[in-house]
Amino acid sequence: MYGTSPGKQAGPPTGPAPWPKRPGAKPSTPWRRKVFREHLGLQRAGLAIGIDIGGTKVAAGVVDTDGQILSEARRSTPGSDPRAVEQVIVELVAELGADHRIRSVGIGAAGWMDLDGGTVLFSPHLAWRNEPLRANLQRLLRRPIFLTNDADAAAWAEWRFGAGQGEERLVCITLGTGIGGAMVLDGRVERGRFGVAGEFGHQIIMPGGHRCECGNRGCWEQYASGNALGREARILAAANSPVAQELLAAVGGRPDRITGAIVTELALAGDAACRELLDEVGEWLGLGLANLAAALDPGLFVIGGGLCSAGDLLVEPARKAFARNLTGRGFRPAAGIELAALGPNAGLIGAADLSRVSRRLRR
C-alpha cells in the first residue's frame, strides 16, 4: 500500500556513537533505587524557575511548591546557536529573579540528556550535540541547575500537581506535531538504562507505512499526532470530496494550508468530516496505548499537548480502541485514559519542581 514491504526499515546511522557505550556506573538495583528516592525532597521549600525551550519560543516562570506560576516571561528561540540560547536563559533568569528569591533553575528541552543530567546528547530543534549545558549554565548563572527532557518534565508536573496525582505507575503522552512520552513510576521519572526511554511515538505501528523523521516507516506519531491529522485532512481536501467543502472553504480553497489545529477547530464547531478525521486519529491513539499497556501496565495514561484541545472528540475514540485492543481484555483491570490538567505550562512547572526536589541530579 505504501510501496515498501512490511518490516523493511532504514538501518541505524553508522559511525561511532557520540556517547559512551555504558553511561553511568552500575546497573540499577533495589538499593540504588531506594537511595534515589531518599534524594527526593518533595517537601523542600523555596521558589524555582522553570524554563521550557521549544523550537519557536522559550517560556519561563517562577514556580512555587504548589506548582503555581507566580510570574512568567517569554522570548523567541534565537535560531539554533547554542550560545545564543544560553544567553536567552541568562536574561530570563535575571528578569524573573529580580523580584523573587530563587533556589534553583530547571531547564526542559526536547532531546536526549545523559543519565547524569549534565549533557544534552541530541536535540532535534536546536544545535545541541553532546553539549555540556549544565556546566555552561552553572558558570553563567551561579545557581543549581537541573536539566531534563521536556516530556519528562511535563509528566512530573502532571504527577505532582495535575491529572496524574496519586498514581504509582503513570504514563504521559504529549500529542503535538509528533508524540512525546514519559513515565513516572513509584515516584520517579523512569528514563531507562541509557536515559532515552519514552520514545513511544516511534513504536512501529504500521510496518511499511508513512515515512517518519526518525528514518523508519510506520511510526505511531505518523498516525496519532497533530501532523497526522493535518496530513489526512489535506489528502481528503485535495481529493475534492464533497464532505471536505467546509474544510476547503476555511482555507480559501488551498488544501496545503490545512493544519491539525484548523481541523480540530472545525471539528469542535461541529463539522462532520473533521470529526471523522479526529475519530481516526483517536483510534490510532488507542491502539498505541494498548501496545504500551501490554508492555508497561500503567494505572493511568495522561494525554497532553496541543491536540488535546479536541477533548472528548479525540479521547473517546481512543478509549474505545484501547478497550478493543488491550491484551487480556475482560480478564484484567484496564488503565484509565485522561486529559492532562496543566496545559502548555506543564513542562516549565515540572522542570522547576524537579530542580527543587531532586537534589541528587543538580549537583
Question: Between residues 75 and 217, which has the closer beta carbon with respect to Zn ion?
Answer: 217
| Of positions 88, 140, 197, 214, contacts Zn ion by CB under 5 A | 214
Question: Between residues 212 and 292, which has the closer beta carbon with respect to Zn ion?
Answer: 212
**Smallest gap from residue 123 Cβ to Zn ion (A):** 16
Q: Which residues pair with 85 in a beta bridge?
A: none
Contact predicate 233/246, CB 8 Å: no
Scanning the structure block, which residue is given the C-alpha cell 543530567?
A: 117
**Smallest gap from residue 72 Cβ to Zn ion (A):** 33
Question: Between residues 146 and 220, which has the closer beta carbon with respect to Zn ion?
Answer: 220
Question: Phi, psi at residue 240, to the nearest 5°?
Answer: 55, 35
Choices 23-31, 216-224, 271-279, 328-336; region in contact with Zn ion by CB under 5 A: 216-224
| Of positions 141, 153, 212, 326, contacts Zn ion by CB under 5 A | 212
Q: Which residues pair with 58 in a beta bridge?
A: 53, 75
Q: Name the nearest CA neighbour of 48 among 128, 108, 110, 127.
A: 108
Question: Phi, psi at residue 40, to the nearest 5°?
Answer: -85, 125
If one asks whether residue 229 binds Zn ion (CB under 5 A), the answer comes out as no
Q: Name the nearest CA neighbour of 107 among 40, 55, 61.
A: 61
Count interface residues toward Zn ion (CB under 5 A).
5
Question: Between residues 115 and 214, which has the closer beta carbon with respect to Zn ion?
Answer: 214
**Smallest gap from residue 178 Cβ to Zn ion (A):** 8
Question: Between residues 119 and 222, which has the closer beta carbon with respect to Zn ion?
Answer: 222
Length of the chain: 363
| Of positions 58, 96, 155, 219, contacts Zn ion by CB under 5 A | 219
Question: Between residues 201 and 317, which has the closer beta carbon with respect to Zn ion?
Answer: 201
Task: Quickly count: other Cβ atoms within 10 Å of residue 161's Cβ.
Answer: 20
β strands within 91-159, DSSP E: 102-109, 112-113, 120-122, 129-131, 145-149
**Smallest gap from residue 251 Cβ to Zn ion (A):** 28
| Of positions 160, 202, 234, 356, contacts Zn ion by CB under 5 A | 202
Q: Measure the CA–CA gap between 46 and 66, rounded to whole angstroms.
A: 11
- The contact set with Zn ion (CB under 5 A) reads 202, 212, 214, 216, 219
